[in-house]
A and B are shown apart, each in its own frame.
Chain A
Amino acid sequence: MTPKTLYDKIWDSHCVKSNKNGFDLLYIDRHYIHEVTSPQAFEGLRIAKRRLWRTNSNFAVPDHNIPTKNRHKGITDPVSKIQVETLEENCENFNVKKFSMNDPSQGIVHIIGPEQGLTLPGMTIVCGDSHTSTHGAFGTLAFGIGTSEVEHVLATQCLIQKRSKTMLININGQLSNGITAKDLILFIIGKIGTAGGTGYSIEFGGSVIRSLSMEGRMTVCNMTIEAGARAGLIGVDDKTIHYLQNKNYAPSKNKFEEAVKYWKTLNSDSNASFDKIIDINGEDVSSMVTWGTSPEMVTNINGEIPLGAEKSYSSALKYMDLAPGTKIRNIKLDKIFIGSCTNSRIEDLRSAAEVVKNKKISTSIKLAMVVPGSGPIKRQAEEEGLDKIFLEAGFEWRDPGCSMCLAMNADRLNPGERCASTSNRNFEGRQGQGGRTHLVSPAMAAAAAVAGHFTDIESI
């Protein structure tokens, strides 16, 4: 048999019909739904009088619009409120399982999928959200789709898709002490650029990936879209299987064992061929900080805004109010955001808490907030006492949601404010109009909160 990549294995097992024009009909196992990209899709179904093809493959959660504070008071923004209520109504009318705003399991869609055991190896997973790539950490083919495709999946359980090219990024050696999955993916984006993965799905492999926890792997796959690739994938190993044991929706006992047999085949064959291979040395990765308005504008904590950047990056530097030659560690911050589907899992919160333990945030910081990715993460952090560490340091401890990752709710930057953020996009206006975002790891965000500017994490 010809050796296959993991991507091809999953594609082939889901191909309902192969068309000569290169577009296959692909079967979709799991469909996640949130309030922002779904209302028009349900409306489309209603107009065309179509039903859901397989109701229980769909799971919905409101996350983008919801308040992270005083949630019991409900949503004050009337427009946000309508959108969240519309999701509730659509789920009720179409009988879709939902985790409502006050459900103890509610959280960011890409956090709760794996946490509930809804994301399982070998699946095809889609959601009207580009960070669906996150789920690829479990050996799934997971990618973001537009609202028309959301409607397509709801009605047919299928999508018309073209196979992508395949890229393998091997990260061997090991990461230095204190260097995280976030630093690794920012390093990779800095290397291949935000369009480097366009047209590809990217599989991550090598000893560094094997040594990462599932949380870290999710962080890497999450930001694959920032490298231009719709899907990121990581092969299944014991960590994957261990993570899924006893999860709410994961297969129970006998079925689990049967599943594991199959899941273990979900790795690229050793001599499978990829369209492109990139090798990275784990030792080369250091603590990363973005300085511009695209995730590829990134350097490490010892770096500076590149000299000569004014030519190619003039609008980015103007927006960020930074001059070439500025040292990263001299950049002062106004706000700190620890959260988002990239970095709001328990491991992220632990690593930030470790930095701020028995410390206070700098008096120059106007607001520092921690927004856990889900209800269960929030409760676990509280059991471990992390909330107290953050609160004592001067952080706010909020309820789960997307929050200031994209500022659709009340959490946002004011014009001109500068933020160290553990999220995934530093686009103009992403965290609030005129706001300036620097993407970093949770530990770096925590260190910046204490120092008031970027600094060596160990110096805190």
Chain B
Amino acid sequence: MEKYRKFKGIVAPLDKNNIDTDAIIPKQYLKSISREGFGVNLFDEWRYLDMGEPGQDHSIRRINKNFILNKKPHNRASVLLTGENFGCGSSREHAAWAIKDFGIKAIIAKSFADIFYNNCFKNGILPIELGEKDINTLFNDCLEKENYELTIDLTNQVVNDNFYNEIKFEINPYQKESLIKGLDEIGQTLENIDIIKNFEDNYKNKFPWLFN
């Protein structure tokens, strides 16, 4: 996976709680067997006025001009700002794939659902949890200022608008490192082959009925 670098990007505000993975990427697109190409269908039922089907030509679909990601400059957003419990619902990693494919590299929310939060790290997306006050400030600034941008600095754990706000955020050091280094988790685990084999042998002796 690519290494996560500091970047500056347009912020798209999506002021809603409990945005679920069905809303992020509707089920009909989960029929794909690829990891790519989900970006055009991110928030499909909100972005388009017609019903979407996999494989269709998106250039002829009816666009919902009022939806934030269809408006300039937010159609180029790389930071998503949202409410509570973002990514709740199904475990579909397609939600993270769609977000990444659209070009969003960081999501700032009041809170995240657990499975989605984990899926972000596997895909080079940084989920940032901030308190209510900071979130509200960002929403206000985002609505007041055109082209509102934030610099996301994972190394120093700061989001910064180079103007009013400099907000520190918390992140687990292991997850931080895995993003910054772009680690291959499976490769890392496989460095422990002997430890796993050893564990498995003992385990088999203890619980033989699990190895029928």
Contact = CB atoms under 8 A, between A and B. Distances in A.
Contact of B192 (A25, A259, A430): A25
Interface string B20-43: 101100111011111100000000
A27 B196 contact: yes
Interface stretch (B153-161, B162-170, B201-209): B201-209
A249 B212 contact: yes
A128 B91 contact: yes
B185 interface: yes
Nearest to B188: A160
A228 B114 contact: yes
A83 B33 contact: yes
A428 B22 contact: yes
A164 B27 CA distance: 29
A43 B33 contact: yes
B138 interface: no
Contacts of A425: 20, 22, 89-90
A157 B51 CA distance: 40
A181 to B, nearest CB: 21
Contacts of B141: none
Given A16-B195, A23-B174, A146 B33 contact: no
Interface in A371-430: 406-408, 415, 425, 427-430
B143 interface: no
Given A22-B172, A149-B118, A228-B85, A158 B27 contact: no
B78 interface: no
Contact of A129 (B90, B113, B123, B199): B90
A40 B34 contact: yes
A152 B93 CA distance: 14
Interface residues on A, range: 35 or more
Contact of B31 (A16, A83, A229, A427): A83
Contacts of B185: 148, 152, 160
Contact of B200 (A27, A155, A229, A430): A27
B122 interface: yes
B144 to A, nearest CB: 23
B181 to A, nearest CB: 14
A456 B115 CA distance: 37
Contacts of B210: 29, 120, 123
Contacts of A16: 192, 195-196, 199
B190 interface: yes
Nearest to B31: A79
B76 interface: no
A139 to B, nearest CB: 14
Contact of B45 (A53, A54, A156, A429): A429
A427 B91 contact: no
B123 A428 contact: no
Nearest to B23: A428
22 contacts: A17-B195, A21-B173, A40-B33, A53-B196, A79-B55, A83-B32, A130-B90, A147-B93, A157-B200, A158-B196, A162-B172, A195-B113, A198-B111, A198-B112, A198-B114, A229-B114, A408-B28, A425-B22, A427-B22, A428-B23, A429-B23, A430-B22
Given A27-B200, A408-B27, A430-B22, 7 more contacts: A16-B199, A43-B33, A53-B196, A82-B31, A123-B210, A146-B93, A262-B207
Interface of A: 16-17, 19, 21-23, 25, 27, 29, 36-37, 39-40, 43, 48, 50, 53-54, 64-65, 77, 79-80, 82-83, 86, 120, 122-123, 128-130, 143-149, 151-152, 155-158, 160, 162, 164, 194-195, 198-199, 228-230, 249, 251, 255-256, 258-259, 262, 294, 315, 406-408, 415, 425, 427-430, 433
Interface of B: 16, 18, 20, 22-23, 26-28, 30-35, 45, 51, 54-55, 84-85, 88-93, 96, 111-115, 118-119, 122-123, 172-174, 185-186, 188-190, 192, 195-196, 199-200, 203, 207-210, 212
